[in-house]
Structure 1
Amino acid sequence: MKTRVLGHNGPTLSAIGLGCMGMSEFYAGRDDAESIATLHHALDQGLNFLDTADVYGPHTNEVLIGKAIAGRRADVFIATKFGILRDPTNEAVRGVSGRPEYVKSSCDASLKRLGIEQIDLYYQHRVDKTVPIEDTVGAMAELVKSGKVRYLGLSEASAATIDRACKVHPIAALQSEYSLWTRDPEVTGTLAACRRNGVSLVAYSPLGRGFLTGAFAKPEDLPADDYRSRFSPRFQGENFKRNLELVEKVKQMAQAKGTSAAQLALAWVLAQGDDIIPIPGTKRRTYLDVNIAALDLVLSAAELAELNAVFTPDAAAGLRYPESFIASVNV
């Protein structure tokens, strides 16, 4: 397994991680037995970076991870998150909390569900506009001092917030959506902020929530209860058709190179810097092996330039989140 270092002089992790959200929620086809088999297979292959959050399920994904890693704690680096509040009566309604007392209670709850004594990487899932980032990160830093957490991270934070947070305590990672069709970290300055502060970028949805794999030819290919078909603007109506044209170019390039669209898309993310660790999500062993194989795919300067020309920062049609969710990113 190829490796990359997290943050400034941080731990050495597998160069690709595993996003576990879809194992428990949002994407159709939940199968806990196959998910656990996939998690075990990942660890057997040397992929040791697992990503979860208390909001996934909610809570059930952490429980699943805890069950899967029982007896294998030394083999895994666990990242989880706090901060998103969900309305139990309406899945489209979300709130955010960065209150210090909430930080601490959330950590204790996650430790219990995961069945571990220390979280390797603890993220603030979304920044709370009503609480100074200094207060939230200060509370997170206390968790490090108490031994409950090893490293701290932020998710979807702005460049200014990253700069402020790093003055309180070292931040090892910023998790943000980053892929061929989501170039926001480059445009907003968050990638630059990460690099001047020694923060790794953990790229979630590096395969565009599966769209960049070429697996979908029409909106109907997604189950009716899937998050993407219900809420994601890029998977709906005319946006879907326009984005499909982009993906066709990826498929053509992949075919010419003798690889898959998924591997080409992941190889592009990996080529953007050794300080970037993509965490594609899957709940099946077959797809996991496809993703890991992308580590051996080398793209030439000409191929990277061709992909960049197709996937300009504004190439994708539609917002990456519904309007109601967008307000909580890049804060």
Structure 2
Amino acid sequence: MELTPGSTRNDRPSSAPAFPMSAFPISGPTGYGLMSLTARPEPVPREQAFAAINNAIKDGVSLLNGGEFYGPNFFNPDPTVEKRPFENLKLLQAYFAKYPENRSKVSVCIKGCVTPTGPDCSPEAVKRSIENIASFFPGNKFELFEAGRMDAKTPVEEFVKACIPFIEKGVIKGISLSEVNANTIRRAAAVYPISCVEVELSLWSTDILKNGIMDTCRELKIPIVAYSPLGRGYLTGKINTIDDLPPNDLRRLFDRFASQEAIDANKHLLERIGKLARKKGCTMAQIALSWVRTFNEYPEKYATVIPIPSASTPERNHENNTHIKLSREEFEELNRAVQECQVYGGRYSARFAGLLNG
């Protein structure tokens, strides 16, 4: 399914630089998030990761989503712990070296401009990040560059303007944003067409349906790339106790995984998802992902949504890519569950709150 994200506002100042009236298109209905392959204490073995990526491409996935900083212990404050920030890029470099025929089959979106102490979207950081990322790809170019998060000092207009020369030189083809609010999206799109906006969306994280992001992206015809569509694994029904998470798992820093009380408090939502999964003869993960994809059946109300579930094995990746058709009644049933099942805990925690809705 080829998507053609729309254009910017036509009332931009006459002094604004000329640019094409449509953004670089991305395709769905499902992408592949690569974070879990390398952003863990010990990355997934290369051949296993390669097999998972191969399965994604076999299943028709054409959007790979990675990060310059998706490496072991990147955010670990302990100075004695080894940090390997470029492991995700090294994985993709090795993958395309082994499977060069697959490079043209996918668009790659890479987050950058993030340091261990926080985001830096200054023009200097944009240049440094794009050039570093590009060096890992054939021909020193890739499709989409994304601000992993916006910083508090750099206006989004400056970030977008800093990216434009790299589009003109052919290093990248488009610009993406992550965890930004509706106003920031509008401001960015007034400078240059935005290819996609990556935000969290799942059955237990529905903020974008209420804070204007979904409406703004629909109006501007910007696809939403939905990260953590499985609630960081919780919506699969396989995280039942705090001990199901390794001691150094990043999720333990988030409110919804910080205690057994938190894990137990949200099981009422799992019960509703599980009931429908049993009725449909599929997994809870497939129900959760199909709910996200079903927004695409109502373009008069919603923007295009492409979930990017992560998976560390080809089997799990295939499960995630298998769409389970939901009837209108089943979709509404899940929407009622979202409204009736109050979710315990914030999406992140106080430590990370300043990095959201930039």
Normalising by structure 1, report the TM-score. Answer: 0.92
Partner residue of 1:311 out of 335, 338, 350: 338
Residue by residue over 1:306-328, the C-alpha shift from the partner in whole angstroms, topping out at 9 and shown as x without a partner, is: 11111129822111112121111
Partner residue of 1:84 out of 114, 123, 126: 114
Which is further off, 10-19 or 301-310?
Answer: 10-19
Query: Residue type matched to 1:80 in 2?
Result: I
**1:327 paired residue number:** 354
1:276 partnered with 2:305: yes
Query: Residue type matched to 1:306 in 2?
Result: E
Partner residue of 2:219 out of 169, 193, 196: 196
Q: CA separation in 2, counterparts of 1:161 and 1:173?
A: 13
1:148 partnered with 2:175: no
Identity of counterpart residues, as a percentage?
31
1:157 partnered with 2:184: no
Query: Residue type matched to 2:311 in 1?
Result: T
Does the 8 A contact of 1:181 with 1:313 survive in 2? no
Partner residue of 1:52 out of 66, 88, 100: 66
Q: CA separation in 2, counterparts of 1:250 and 1:28?
A: 32
Check 1:246–1:313 CA distance in 2 against 1; reply closer, same or farther (3 A cut): closer
Matched residue SS, 1:66 = helix
1:232 partnered with 2:254: yes
Q: CA separation in 2, counterparts of 1:39 and 1:205?
A: 18
1:171 partnered with 2:171: no
1:19 partnered with 2:17: no
1:71-150 mapped onto 2 (5 Å cutoff): 71=100, 72-86=102-116, 94-150=117-173
Matched residue SS, 2:68 = coil
Does the 8 A contact of 2:240 with 2:263 survive in 1? no
**1:91 paired residue number:** none
Listed as ranges, the gaps of 5+ residues in structure 2 are 7-21, 72-84, 298-303
Q: CA separation in 2, counterparts of 1:330 and 1:27?
A: 28
Does the 8 A contact of 2:26 with 2:63 survive in 1? no
Does the 8 A contact of 1:206 with 1:269 survive in 2? yes
Higher strand content, 1 or 2 = 1
**2:209 paired residue number:** 186
**1:7 paired residue number:** 5
Matched residue SS, 2:351 = helix
Matched residue SS, 1:51 = strand
**2:14 paired residue number:** none
Matched residue SS, 1:127 = coil
**1:89 paired residue number:** none
Listed as ranges, the gaps of 5+ residues in structure 1 are 87-93
**1:90 paired residue number:** none
Check 1:5–1:250 CA distance in 2 against 1; reply closer, same or farther (3 A cut): same
Partner residue of 2:284 out of 261, 265, 269: 261
Does the 8 A contact of 2:33 with 2:311 survive in 1? yes
Matched residue SS, 1:42 = helix
Which is further off, 123-132 or 304-313?
Answer: 304-313
Q: CA separation in 1, counterparts of 2:346 and 2:224?
A: 21
Check 1:226–1:126 CA distance in 2 against 1; reply closer, same or farther (3 A cut): same
Does the 8 A contact of 2:269 with 2:341 survive in 1? no
Does the 8 A contact of 2:208 with 2:214 survive in 1? yes
Which is further off, 242-251 or 23-32?
Answer: 23-32
Partner residue of 2:314 out of 254, 274, 285: 285
Check 1:6–1:240 CA distance in 2 against 1; reply closer, same or farther (3 A cut): farther
Tell me by how many angstroms 1:170 deviates.
0.3
Residue by residue over 1:236-264, the C-alpha shift from the partner in whole angstroms, topping out at 9 and shown as x without a partner, is: 32111011221122111110121110110
Tell me by how many angstroms 1:168 deviates.
0.6
